[in-house]
Amino acid sequence: MEHHSDDLPFRAVAQVAHVAVDAQGRLDEVDFDRLLRQHQGKVRLVAITGASNVTGYLNPLHRLAEKAHAAGALFLADCAQLAPHRAVDMRDLADPAHLDFVVLSAHKMYAPYGTGALIGRTDIFEAGEPDVRGGGTVEVVTLDSVAWAGPPDKDEAGSPNVVGAVALALALRELGAIGMPAIARHEAELTAHALRGLRRVSGVRLFGDADPERAAERLGVIPFGLDGASHFLVAAILGHEYGIGVRSGCFCAHPYVLRLLGMDRAQSEASRARILAGDRSEMPGMTRISFGLYNTIEEVDRFLEALSVVAAGGYRGRYQQDPASGEYRPDGWAPDFEAAFPLSSPAAGPG
């Protein structure tokens, strides 16, 4: 169920065993236990998402961490999706259920300037050589030797993103002032309202847990499909005709989405072949709505009204698909990037 960011980097440096998920997309904890037993003594790291960016499922991080530590492994929690919506407690290292590493992304916490954080144990960061080498990572360099700096400098090559770090700190402070419990309550209200409304839209298929009564046990991320309509087309109509931003596709979690869609290996391989041939017109995927702390019940109602129109075929535009990207655009329309983002300077006047 991992985002590619918590999967692909490990494939490059280690043998990776993937834990199964059930048909609803929940982590299969029985399979988790089986893999730990099977690889007892050889597991170096267990990396688990705190919350799925596709279905919003919340994983029992501390229970899984305790099991990982008992098997001799370190434990990393990918909290990029979790941290903007729930408090994260790493706990003391003496606690068997502690988190050794936490990863988060600033842009998901409403901070600009593209930074993030890897928070972890100093003794681990002190060992070994840096992954990215360059200015600022060393104490002294000669033609024959390198003495690396201590953490965190050793692992932060190049000029630091100071303004990004300041922005992240301010965003964290603001989230703390609002209160993570208040954010969770507001999000659960939006999610429950949306799930109830989606049940009334003809042709909608919901993925993951669709029970409004359990909205507080998940994040406000709702993936769905609409019978007879491409996820690309649904997203295009909602955006162009209603100004509603949604995501469509596989959300940087291809294996997870294909599992939720119920695609077997043969279907997956056929889709892969078409995509590699440059044709994404039938790319599998879903449409996803997701809530932030700024969203309102009125906005949810506007989305439900718009989706009902789309489901009934009542949208206004004529849309053409680009097979290379799979995306749809209204016929005869294209964005005027120069008007929105002028890159040229005005012509100089006389004199």
pLDDT tens sequence across 116-157: 999 999 999 999 899 899 989 999 999 999 999 999 999 999
> What do you get for the CA distance between the two ends of the chain, in Å?
64
What was the pLDDT predicted at 347?
55
Cβ atoms of residues 208 and 57 within 8 Å: yes
Q: How many Cβ atoms sit within 10 Å of the Cβ of residue 188? A: 19
pLDDT band of residue 87 (cuts 50, 70, 90) is: very high
Share of the chain above pLDDT 70, in %: 98
Look at residue 346 and tell me whether its pLDDT is greater than 90: no
pLDDT band of residue 349 (cuts 50, 70, 90) is: low
What was the pLDDT predicted at 335?
72
Look at residue 351 and tell me whether its pLDDT is greater than 60: no
Cα torsion for 199, 202, 204, 210, to the nearest 10°? Answer: 10
What was the pLDDT predicted at 277?
96
What was the pLDDT predicted at 59?
98
What was the pLDDT predicted at 337?
78
Report yes or no on whether pTM surpasses 0.85.
Answer: yes
- Per-residue model confidence as pLDDT tens digits over 279-323: 999 999 999 999 999 999 999 999 999 999 999 999 999 999 999
What was the pLDDT predicted at 345?
61
What was the pLDDT predicted at 338?
83
Looking at residues 12-24, what average pLDDT do you find? 95
Looking at residues 55-63, what average pLDDT do you find? 98
What was the pLDDT predicted at 161?
92
- Of 43, 149, 252, 309, which is the active-site residue? 252
- Per-residue model confidence as pLDDT tens digits over 104-117: 999 999 999 989 99
Look at residue 219 and tell me whether its pLDDT is greater than 90: yes
User: In Å, how far from its chain's centre is CA 167?
Assistant: 20
Cβ atoms of residues 56 and 219 within 8 Å: yes
pLDDT band of residue 278 (cuts 50, 70, 90) is: very high
Q: Work out whether the CA dihedral 215, 225, 84, 66 comes out positive or negative.
A: positive
Active site (annotated) includes residue 79: no
What was the pLDDT predicted at 268?
95
Residues 6+ apart with CB under 8 A from 80: 3, 5, 53, 103, 104, 105, 108, 116
